[in-house]
Structure 1
Amino acid sequence: MILLQTPLELSLVPFIISFVIILVVLAIFFHYVPFFLWFSAKVSGVKISLLQLALMRIRKVPPYVIVRALIEAHKAGIQDVTRNGLEAHYLAGGHVEQVVHALVSASKAEMDLSFQMATAIDLAGRDVFEAVQMSVNPKVIDTSRVTAVAKDGIQLIVKARVTVRASIRQLVGGAGEDTILARVGEGIVSSIGSSVNHKSVLENPDSISKLVLKKGLDAGTAFEILSIDIADIDIGENIGARLQMDQANADKNIAQAKAEERRAMAVANEQEMKAKAQEARAKVIEAEAEVPKALAEAFRSGNLGIMDYYRMENIQADTSMRNTIGGEEKK
């Protein structure tokens, strides 16, 4: 079915197209030339032109963020915040709103914080607004359980709370919370290790915090230590007794090893003496084997007669009989 358009409908088509084109042009115009944002800045007393806002769009800088920061700084009476400074900080990857919030908070708290210092802290990777808040309201950091041993060998397990305040001047390049906790733990271990016994530590736990505070653990850090409070102390193992037991076991094992060595040496000497006895016995047997040869040679040379031989045999028989009667056996 074919629908026929009336002359009125045909006359409205150019009007609708023109209206759409005008809307698109206005949208593009107000996007690059934020008139209402400029008007808001003018009403707030911030001097900025429409051309500058349009150039911000071209430089990929959000005008809303810069204008809002300028209005906040102007209302707070901060004079060193400029449009160029905010744009440069944004293009450098900084957080414009956090910097301005920090400057306003520092101004209200009568802290000496300049725009250059705030931007440097922000670009260093620290939250400058949180740092200002921590300077006004100190932060409490709980340490992990620190284990240390007194001179009497008793192990103590300590948990401390460190109250710190941010140092604005040392935020750039200063060490963080991890360094504070590590130094406090080292100070606790040193303090307990220098104690005569664990009872003195349990009686005066504040001696640990006093000794640790004297060491100036916040040097080179972004914080200032206000106080160190000992939250909890528990008694652990008797490390001294355990070490003595381990030493005693080690000494026992060494003594057993030396005794085994001496026994082995004695066995070796015994075997050596048996070998020497066997060697001597073999020499005796060898010498006895030469006796018949000597007798035969004596008979041949005439040095020994038959009667002398029988007399010698009788003497040997008589000696053997006496040994038998006396209960001695010839081995």
Structure 2
Amino acid sequence: FRHVDAHTVVECRIMAKKAGIDIASSSLEAHQLAGGNVTNIVRALIAASKANIELSFDRACAIDLSGRDVFDTVKTSINPKVIDCPDPAKGSGALDAVTKDGIQLKVKARVTIRTKIDRLVGGATEETIIARVGEGIITVIGSSETYKKVLEKPDSISNFVMAKELDGDTAFQILSVNIVSIDVGDNIGAKLQADQAEADKRIAQAEAEKRQGMANARGQEMKALSEENMAKVLAAESEVPKAIAQAFREGNLGIMDYYHIKNVQADTEMKTSISKTGLPPKTPL
């Protein structure tokens, strides 16, 4: 009627009683009705009692109902757990960081943690520990002048991370941070400089092409202007015969004046022809 597994409740109460822990049957029934795992609760309380870890029934119930494995939590508190940083399950094989001299380092670390029972409910999870440790490692490497200093003293990374007390507000205590491996990657600084040089080269080429285009356009403008001026000169020259004829009719130009103009024109054409051929004018005998 109450949807309680009486057999499980009785077995758990007997198991707790034999371990020296007195738990009321009504408390076990209430936890089971709330959706909890009474077997895990009793096993966790027994393990905590044997290890002299303070764990009350109410706290164990709260941990269990929060979705965590309370028995695994107690085991982690007794036997510290080692986690990888970064987490291989997330697809990251190593942490990538770059020193000030532009060299990329690939770092793998292992973090030893112990569960803090009193902070388990509401405390940050392992993902937070991994993220904070990874951030600390990247910070140390990024502030190093050269990659050689990091390779010489990898323990400086561990010391920095431990000194930062990154386990605050988490459900775990960081016991140690150990650097498993440091691999030298690419020269990121050189690549960035090469990319910048290539970008500058392309910008310079674009500017040169722009200037060349402007110069070509200006040349075309000047050619068109020259042709326009030449057309105006030819148009003006075509008016000269008309003007001479008009001068004859009006009596403003005599025959000698006309021949003088023709001599000047002939002399001008001769000099122009000589200047084009590049030959010196012949000295008259």
**Aligned match of 1:157:** 106
**Aligned match of 1:180:** 129
Partner Cα distance (2:203, 2:129) in 1: 45
1:208-253 C-alpha deviation (Å, 9 max, x unpaired) = 1111122222122111111100011100000011111111111111
Decide which of 59, 62, 76 is 1:134's aligned counterpart: 76
Alignment map for 1:44-123 (pairs within 5 Å) = 58-79=1-22, 81-123=23-65
Say how many residue pairs are matched: 271
Q: 1:132 corresponds to which letter in structure 2?
A: V
Instruction: Provide TM-score, normalisation by structure 2.
Output: 0.91
What percent of counterpart residues are identical? 59
Ranked by relative contact order (alpha carbons within 8 Å, sequence separation 6 or more), the top structure is 2
Residue 132 of structure 1 aligns to a residue in which SS?
Answer: helix
1:149-198 C-alpha deviation (Å, 9 max, x unpaired) = 00000000000000000010111111211111111111111110011110
- Structure 1 residues 169 and 234: CA distance shift in structure 2, 3 A: same
Structure 1 or 2, whichever has the larger Rg, is 1
CA-CA distance at 1:329 after TM superposition: 5.9
Give the aligned CA root-mean-square deviation in angstroms.
Answer: 1.6
CA-CA distance at 1:322 after TM superposition: 5.3
**Aligned match of 1:272:** 221
- Structure 1 residues 121 and 322: CA distance shift in structure 2, 3 A: closer
Mark the runs of 5 or more structure 2 residues left unpaired by the alignment. 87-93, 279-285
Partner Cα distance (2:181, 2:132) in 1: 18
**Aligned match of 2:283:** none
1:266-299 C-alpha deviation (Å, 9 max, x unpaired) = 1111111111111111121121122122112212
Alignment map for 1:228-247 (pairs within 5 Å) = 228-247=177-196
- Structure 1 residues 228 and 318: CA distance shift in structure 2, 3 A: closer
1:46-65 C-alpha deviation (Å, 9 max, x unpaired) = xxxxxxxxxxxx31211111
CA-CA distance at 1:321 after TM superposition: 4.0
- Structure 1 residues 322 and 176: CA distance shift in structure 2, 3 A: closer
- Structure 1 residues 113 and 298: CA distance shift in structure 2, 3 A: same
Partner Cα distance (1:174, 1:98) in 2: 21
Instruction: Provide TM-score, normalisation by structure 1.
Output: 0.79
Q: 2:34 corresponds to which letter in structure 1?
A: A
